[in-house]
Amino acid sequence: MPEQQIHTQTFPNGLTLIIEPMADVQSAAFSLMVPAGSNYDPPGREGAASVLVDWITRGAGDRDSMQLTNELDNLGLQRNEGVGNSHLSFTGATVAESLPAALAIYADIVQSPHLPDDEFEPARIGVEQSLKAIEDEPRQKVMIELRRRCYDAPWGTPCEGTLEGVRRLEPGDSRELFERCAGPRDAILGIAGKVDVPATIDLVGRLLGNWKSKPAATYQSGPRGATRDHIHHDSTQTQIGIAYDSVPYHDQGYYAAWAAVSVLSGGMSSRLFTEVREKRGLCYSVYASLNSLREEGRVLCYAGTTTERAQETLDVTLRELIRLGEGIAPDELKRCQALAKSSLIMQQESSSSRASSIARDWYHLGRVTTLNEVRQKIDALTVPMLLEHIRAHPAKDFTILTLGAQPLEVNLGVS
């Protein structure tokens, strides 16, 4: 794997630019993170950031909504907007020669959006419809609600907002959020692909170097929900969500934590798939993932099953989580390492993936981990390292949420 070159530039207004040149591709991609995420939603107006990330693209600079959309489409830009706890995100990928024009448009979007009142309601309705769709998807709902119960507010509050909050929103709510939060302080721009580094630094300096800085925004924190809870839902199926503490991305034990979760849920040979689904036929879906905020991490688990098999599914899943510390076979670790290396190779070939990764790394670490560094960390993992991590961070103190016709018993002593 060739050695990567990472270039960083922090502008006086606080914007950090990270560039990764990729000589073997013809594309270029960017990931722009703007500090105006859902944590900063006004109290009782949860969803203001989610509406803003749509509304903000409906006209900017000297372009109205239709002109802006047409220009981006004419560039062949594959784009996406999203909202996280801390940042709004704008990502795009196109042929390398079109990157400067795309960045110029997004510079207008984040600095001089029109935010027209007549375009607010379509943006608000779109978010409301998405939230209604989640209500009809029990699998999504149980995991969203699980986060509310395993993380303190506002970190556990859905980034998309709540139906109640979105229905209360008025244009002034999302506009105030933009004016209070969206600025270059703590903003991150990752660019990867076939780019000239000095020219790109100069371009970003001209486009965003005069972006007016704002004071650091604050948000109110609050308690999390109950560690044992049930949501009634008339159905023949039961959705099970389980969470327990792990380590965040910046922790030195992160890769051991990742590998341990991969043993549980990394493909069709993993523990949960084999023991809960294949051997016993208890559920139609089961998985675990390692979830990281900036300062906290959790293992989040899901199982979907029938009402009749729900109790046994919960019992067996908890048993598999707890018994992971009893031993891991060398071939289980090798399988995880092989899957990770395959993912690294695909990342190496994707400018979009690299742009997002370097921006995310900067947010979590204040630096960028190269693919070679990640590969070395993965290769260095051993079974004793995984077991040491599991014993230091065992599966215990579970947050358990069920959604279905009837609640379940938590039997942690089940054999």
pLDDT digits (tens, 9 = 90+) for 120-141: 999 999 999 999 999 999 999 9
Percent of the chain that is helix, strand, coil (3-state, to 5): 45, 20, 35
Strands (E), 3-151: 7-10, 16-21, 27-34, 78-83, 88-95
| 154 and 298 housed in the same domain | no
Do 36 and 159 belong to one domain?
A: yes
Per-residue pLDDT for 348 more than 80?
A: no
Looking at residue 415, its pLDDT comes to: 43
What pLDDT sits at residue 180?
Answer: 97
The strand pair at 228-232 and 88-95 is best described as unpaired
Looking at the fold, whether 174 and 235 belong to one and the same domain comes out as no
Within 13 Å and on the Cβ side, how many CA atoms surround 70? 5
Q: Which residues contact 381 (CB under 8 A, 6 or more apart)?
A: 255, 256, 259, 333, 337
| Same domain? 297 vs 188 | no
242 and 199 together in one domain: no
Q: Is the pLDDT of residue 226 over 80?
A: yes
**Residue 281 maps to a domain:** yes
Give yes or no: residues 193 and 256 share one domain: no
Return the structure tokens found at 365: 């670490």
Question: Are 319 and 199 part of one and the same domain?
Answer: no
Q: Is 341 contained in some domain?
A: yes
What is the mean pLDDT of the segment spanning 193-211?
98
Please state the pTM of the whole predicted model.
0.94
- Domain span including residue 382: 228-404
Reported as a pLDDT band with limits 50, 70 and 90, residue 93 is very high
**Residue 191 and residue 45 share a domain:** yes
**Residues 285, 292: contact at Cβ < 8 Å?**
no
Average pLDDT for 202-231: 95
Instruction: Tell whether the model's pLDDT for residue 344 goes beyond 90.
Output: no
- Please classify residue 326 by burial: count the beta carbons closer than 10 Å to its beta carbon, then call 0-12 exposed, 13-18 middle and 19+ buried: exposed
CATH code where residue 378 lies: 3.30.830.10
- How does pLDDT run across 306-328, given as a tens digit for each residue? 999 999 999 999 999 999 999 99
Q: 48 and 192: one domain?
A: yes
Measured CA to CA, the distance from residue 335 to residue 267 in angstroms comes to 9
Q: What is the pLDDT of residue 355?
A: 97
Q: Which of 174, 208, 242 is the last residue of a domain?
A: 208
Is residue 270 domain-resident?
Answer: yes
What average pLDDT is seen over the chain? 95
Tell me: pLDDT of 346 over 90.
Answer: no
pLDDT on residue 267: 80
Residue 220 maps to a domain: no
Token pair, residue 204, equals: 């970003």
Residue 234 has pLDDT above 50, yes or no: yes
Residue 347 pLDDT exceeds 90:
no
Q: Is residue 412 part of a domain?
A: no
Tally of structural domains, the chain? 2
